[in-house]
Amino acid sequence: MSCSSLCVPSCGVATPAPLADTCNEPCVRQCPDSTVVIQPPASVVTFPGPILSSFPQQSAVGSAGVP
């Protein structure tokens, strides 16, 4: 998904307009479970896979206008 926002003057006045582009998309991924065999005596233990998450953030701020 791409995030962008452009603010343009609605009345057509030639003044600098704020320009903002932000993106904040959470990403979550679950890894498969792990299995361990413990001896002796033989036992099987299953550990749930870890859940990895990250929150990448991108932002750009500036101004644009007619020279």
pLDDT at 51: 73
Q: Which two tokens stand for residue 65?
A: 């206008």
Mean pLDDT, rounded, for 11-40 = 67
- In the chain, the amino acid numbered 10 is S
Q: Is it the case that residue 8 has pLDDT exceeding 60?
A: no
pLDDT at 49: 80
Report the DSSP pairing between strands 43-47 and 34-38: antiparallel
Name the more confident of 52 and 6: 52
Mean pLDDT, rounded, for 16-44 = 71
pTM above 0.85, yes or no: no
* Residue 64 pLDDT class (50, 70, 90 cuts): low
Measured between alpha carbons, how far is residue 9 from residues 58, 59, 63 in Å? 24, 21, 12
